[in-house]
Amino acid sequence: MSNPSLLILPGDGIGQEVMAQVRRIVEWYGDKRGLKFDVEEDLVGGAAYDAHGTPLHDDTMAKAQEADAVLLGAVGGPAYDDLDFSVKPERGLLRLRKEMDLFANLRPAQCFDALADFSSLKRDIVSGLDIMIVRELTSGSYFGEPRGIFEENGQRVGINTQRYTEAEIDRVARSAFELARRRNNRVVSMEKANVMESGILWREVVEAVHKADYADVELSHMYADNGAMQLVRAPKQFDVILTDNLFGDILSDCAAMLTGSLGMLPSASLGAPMENGRPKALYEPVHGSAPDIAGQGKANPCACILSFAMALRYSFDQGDEATRLETAVQQVLADGVRTGDLMQADDAQPVSTAQMGDAILAALDASLA
């Protein structure tokens, strides 16, 4: 039988630096755990634009459709800020999500005990935090029509449309309920049903799915603005948060700071199960290309490494190996090995991206002893 395939798209800025560490870990699994992957690397974002004049070449899109899983670093950067909108680096990522139909974006936010003092919130508010944001990823205001910049009465008007069909809400709601059953069995759905018709429909469909098939899961609703406030007031009240594309984008960056750093947050973007029972999948850190620290070896690779752990769990049925990797990351942080984003002013010198990779590999080796 052939090995499972991994398409690696490092992208831009720190995407390339953090993915270099993930590649070492992928190799470790092949060498030490007999988990061999057929790895192919390709371009996305600004790197693809530089080579091909497009942020995602059709050949790369086709490879992503065929791969058992895609790992992506990050896209974007100031060098590409003035490009035409249609070829901006972010369009490459959005095309991957849309064409692979990756509607369920899982963004777990866990506060490891070793990092509880690095959150901008007090330790007792975040320690032990373990929440899962399920963000709808292929619809809503990111993709709704009409969209564009138009002339109207002698001035320009910018338009994006928040649009959700029942089917789109139904399927992502099911993903959230399924996840909740494997966690603490609670879902809070967030929208703005007080001011948006799309929010009213969202709430009705979530209620209907719940009543029909998931009545055993505890469900409640919150307006998304209150949800943002609750996320910083008392984040441990949540188990699974279900929300739309734009609210999910904002709420998940917010949740990142509960964990200590944006450099800690992984994500999995999943489609419907295919014939082989597995979903199409793309794994990426929640953070971006971090132009302010790119090229300096300062980036925290943990979010990208933990995204590979999610791939082991959700694409390759290797839950125990995913836990091994997550434990290795926690161990290293507990030992005080930290990149600069996890340092306090009077701390010792931070380690580099590659040294963080070294430490995690050493912890993986130690896990076999």
**Between 235 and 288, CB nearer to ligand NAD:** 288
Residues that bind ligand IPM (CB under 6 A): 76, 90, 93-94, 249, 286, 288
**Any contact of residue 133 with ligand NAD (CB under 6 A)?**
no
Which one is catalytic: 58, 225, 347, 365?
225
Q: Closest Cα partner for 324 from 264, 265, 364, 362?
A: 364
CB of 198 to ligand IPM, least distance (A): 18
Report phi then psi at 298, rounded to 5.
Answer: -100, -15
Which one is catalytic: 29, 142, 283, 314?
142
Q: Which residues contact 40 (CB under 8 A, 6 or more apart)?
A: 5, 6, 7, 8, 63, 67
Is 86 marked as a binding-site residue?
yes
- 85, 120 Cβ separation under 8 angstroms: no
Decide if 225 is catalytic.
Answer: yes
CB of 252 to Mn ion, least distance (A): 7
The CB-nearest residue to ligand IPM is 90
Is 249 marked as a binding-site residue?
yes
- 37, 3 Cβ separation under 8 angstroms: yes
Decide if 38 is catalytic.
Answer: no
Give a three-class secondary structure readout of 287-344.
CCCCCCCCCCCCCCCHHHHHHHHHHHHHCCCCHHHHHHHHHHHHHHHHCCCCCHHHCC
**Any contact of residue 47 with ligand NAD (CB under 6 A)?**
no
**Between 214 and 249, CB nearer to ligand IPM:** 249
Is 37 marked as a binding-site residue?
no
Q: For residues 325-364, which are near ligand NAD according to CB under 6 A?
A: 341
Decide if 335 is catalytic.
Answer: no
> Two tokens at 355?
């040294």
**Between 94 and 232, CB nearer to ligand IPM:** 94
CB of 63 to Mn ion, least distance (A): 24
Q: Which residues contact 30 (CB under 8 A, 6 or more apart)?
A: 36, 37
**Any contact of residue 249 with Mn ion (CB under 5 A)?**
yes
Q: Identify the three-state secondary structure at position 144.
A: strand
> Residue 291: how many CB atoms within 10 A of its CB?
15
Decide if 253 is catalytic.
Answer: yes
Which one is catalytic: 42, 68, 244, 249?
249
Is 174 marked as a binding-site residue?
no
Q: Which listed range, 69-77, 104-112, 229-237, 305-313, lies at the site for ligand NAD (CB under 6 A)?
A: 69-77
**What Cα–Cα distance (Å) separates residue 338 from each residue in 125, 307, 329, 331, 344?**
22, 18, 11, 11, 10
| Cα–Cα dist 13/60, whole Å | 19
**Between 93 and 114, CB nearer to ligand IPM:** 93
Total site size for Mn ion, rule CB under 5 A? 1
Q: For residues 82-121, which are near ligand NAD according to CB under 6 A?
A: 90, 93
> Two tokens at 63?
């490879």
**Between 269 and 330, CB nearer to Mn ion:** 269
**Any contact of residue 17 with Mn ion (CB under 5 A)?**
no
223-248 b/e (C-beta count within 10 Å ≥ 16 → b): bbeebbebbbeebeebbbbbbbbbbb
Decide if 142 is catalytic.
Answer: yes
Q: Is the torsion defined by CA of 236, 237, 243, 249 positive or negative?
A: negative
Q: For residues 122-181, which are near Mn ion according to CB under 5 A?
A: none
- 244, 196 Cβ separation under 8 angstroms: no
CB of 248 to Mn ion, least distance (A): 9
Choose from Mn ion, ligand IPM, ligand NAD, none: what does 113 bind? Cβ within 5-8 Å by kind: none
Residue 292: exposure state from Cβ atoms within 10 A (0-12, 13-18, ≥19): exposed
Residue 323: exposure state from Cβ atoms within 10 A (0-12, 13-18, ≥19): middle
**Between 78 and 319, CB nearer to ligand NAD:** 78
**Any contact of residue 8 with ligand NAD (CB under 6 A)?**
no
Q: Which residues are catalytic?
A: 142, 192, 225, 249, 253
Going by the annotation, the residues of the binding site are: 77-90, 97, 107, 135, 225, 249, 253, 288-300
Site for ligand NAD, rule CB under 6 A: 14, 18, 74-77, 90, 93, 262-263, 284, 287-293, 299-300, 303, 341
